[in-house]
Amino acid sequence: MSASAADERVNTVTRFLDRMAHGDWDAMAACVAPDVVRIGPYRDVVRGRDAYRTFLAEVISALEGYRMDVSRIWSDGDCAAAELAEEMDIDGQRRRTDEALTFDFDDDGLISRVAVYLQPSYLLT
């Protein structure tokens, strides 16, 4: 794939993560294919755009003080990956989880598969 294809993949993932971090669920869902598959860190699977949108909206909206910090996103034009950290307050303590996500795309350039990999969470002092 060309450099422009890699740029397009990075732009799609950037938009997806930005809209997720800001709770703009419809714009986030517009970045994924209708038959998207999300594979979570605990081997949990969510299938379909509407189910994935609902899943993320419910989980993230329930987290107190949620914040996402994206370190980097890159692509080879075929797939993409992102390193990020999510922070939230749990029982009055700030917790951080470092993560890596991989993304596959369909022929329309929409995200067709997301896989989430976590590092152990830790408390921020």
Burial class (CB in 10 A: 0-12, 13-18, 19+), 55: middle
Q: What's the CATH number of domain 3-123, 3.30.565.10, 3.10.450.50, 3.40.50.620, 3.40.50.2000? A: 3.10.450.50
The pLDDT, as a whole number, for residue 2 is: 58
The pLDDT, as a whole number, for residue 3 is: 66
The pLDDT, as a whole number, for residue 104 is: 98
| Residue extents of the structural domains in the chain | 3-123
The pLDDT, as a whole number, for residue 96 is: 97
pLDDT under 70 in the chain at which residues? 1-3
Is 96 in contact with 85 (CB distance < 8 Å)? yes
What does DSSP assign to residue 63? S
Over pLDDT 90: what percentage of the chain? 94
The pLDDT, as a whole number, for residue 125 is: 72
